[in-house]
Amino acid sequence: MEPDVHDRRRLVRAAMNAPYLERDEERVLATRWREAGDEAALHRLTSAHMRLVIAMAAKFRRYGLANADLIQEGHVGLLEAASRFEPEREVRFSTYAAWWIRAAIQDYVLRNWSIVRGGTSSAQKALFFNLRRIRARLAAEEGVEGDDALDRAAATALGVSVGDVEIMRARLSGPDASLNAPLYDRDEDGGERQDALADDRPGIDETVGGLIDGERRVGWLAEALRQLDEREFSILRARRLVEEGETLETIGRRLGISKERVRQIETRALDKLRVALLARDPDRAAFV
C-alpha cells in the first residue's frame, strides 16, 4: 500500500474516532484558546471537528483534485474558524466552522481546477459551483430545453448575466488543452498547438521600417531646430520637447515676459520649423 494512502486512511480513522464534544466542553476549549492561547485546547477542538472537514472535502471530489489536498485546505479553514470563533455567542462551533471550511475548499478548487484563473467574486463562485446543478434541475423539473434557454433561465436563477453563464459553461465543458499538445495525429509532423497561434507582433519588415523612419525624422527635426534662435529653441524645448511641458505662465516668469509673449514666440518657432522642413522636401508635409 502506498504511504500516502496509508496516511490518508489513518487520518480519516483518527478523525472518525475522535470523541464528540458537549456544548459546555466545546465552549470551555474555545474560551481557553481564545483568551489564553492554549494550543492543547485548540488541538482538541479541531480534532473533534476533522470529520466535518473530511465530509465537506468529499463533496468536492468531482473536480478532480486530490482528496488529501482538499482535506488540508479544509483544515486551514477549520483553524481560521477557531481563531475567529466567539463562544459567548452561544453558537455551536460546527455550525460556525462549516462556512469557513467550505470557503477554504472552494477557494482552493477555484485556484487549481484550471490554469485559466476564474473570477473569485461571490457571483462567480455561485456560477462555478452551482451552474451544472441549476441547469440539470431546470431541465428535469421545469422542462427547459436548449442551451440558450437554459443559459437564460440559469442566469435569472443565479442573478448574473447570460454572458457570464455562457463563459462559465464553456469553461466547465472540458479540461484545459496544453499548448504543447500535437496539432495533428502523433504520426504526422504537424507541430504543436502553440505553433498555430497568431502572432500579433509587427513583422520584421514593419519593425525595421519603423526604426529607419524614426531615425530619419529625428534627423529632419534636428536640422530644422537649428533655424531657431536661442530663445525660440528654449521655449519650444520647454513646451514641446520634454515629457511634461511647462506652462506659458511658468516660462514667462522665468524669462521675465508675459505668457502671451511666450505664446507668440512659440507660434513663430513652430512656423519656422514647418517652413524649414518643407523647404528641403515637400513630402515631409505628413511629418509636419
At 98 the pLDDT is 93
SS (HEC) of the chain: CCHHHHHHHHHHHHHHHCCCCCHHHHHHHHHHHHHHCCHHHHHHHHHCCHHHHHHHHHCCHHHCCCHHHHHHHHHHHHHHHHHHCCHHHCCCHHHHHHHHHHHHHHHHHHHHCCCCCCCCCHHHHHHHHHHHHHHHHHHHHCCCCCHHHHHHHHHHHHCCCHHHHHHHHHHHCCCCCCCCCECCCCCCCCCEHHHHCCCCCCCHHHHHHHHHHHHHHHHHHHHHHCCCCHHHHHHHHHHHCCCCCCCHHHHHHHHCCCHHHHHHHHHHHHHHHHHHHHHHCHHHHCCC
Per mean pLDDT, which range of 16-20, 78-82, 173-177, 247-251 is the poorest? 173-177
Q: Are 96 and 46 in contact (CB under 8 A)?
A: no
The mean pLDDT value for 256-262 works out to 91
SS (HEC) of 157-189: HHCCCHHHHHHHHHHHCCCCCCCCCECCCCCCC
At 280 the pLDDT is 66
Between CA 39 and CA 47 the distance in angstroms is 12
Its pTM stands at 0.48
At 1 the pLDDT is 40
Q: Which residue matches cell numbers 534662435?
A: 229
* Structure-model confidence comparison of residues 238 and 157, the more confident one: 238
Per mean pLDDT, which range of 38-42, 50-54, 200-204 is the poorest? 200-204
Between CA 156 and CA 276 the distance in angstroms is 66
| pLDDT value at 117 more than 70 | no
Confidence of residue 192 (pLDDT cuts 50, 70, 90): confident
CB neighbours of 122 closer than 8 A, spacing ≥ 6? none
Q: Is 131 exposed, middle or buried (0-12, 13-18, 19+ CB in 10 A)?
A: buried
The mean pLDDT value for 111-130 works out to 63
At 78 the pLDDT is 93
**Helix spans in 183-247 (H):** 204-225, 230-240
Per the prediction, the chain carries an average pLDDT of 79
Cell digits of residue 96: 460556525
At 101 the pLDDT is 93
May I ask the CATH architecture of the domain 204-285?
Orthogonal Bundle (1.10)
The mean pLDDT value for 139-162 works out to 78
| pLDDT value at 214 more than 70 | yes
CB neighbours of 140 closer than 8 A, spacing ≥ 6? none
At 3 the pLDDT is 45
| pLDDT value at 131 more than 90 | no
Between CA 130 and CA 128 the distance in angstroms is 6
**Chain length of the chain:** 288
At 37 the pLDDT is 87
Q: Do domains 3-112 and 204-285 have the same CATH topology?
A: no
Confidence of residue 186 (pLDDT cuts 50, 70, 90): low
Q: Are 30 and 45 in contact (CB under 8 A)?
A: yes
Cell digits of residue 34: 481564545
| pLDDT value at 164 more than 70 | yes
pLDDT tens across 48-103, in order? Answer: 999 999 999 988 887 778 888 899 999 999 999 999 998 888 889 999 999 999 88
CATH 3.40.50.180 fits 3-112, yes or no: no
Q: Where are the domains of the chain?
A: 3-112, 122-172, 204-285
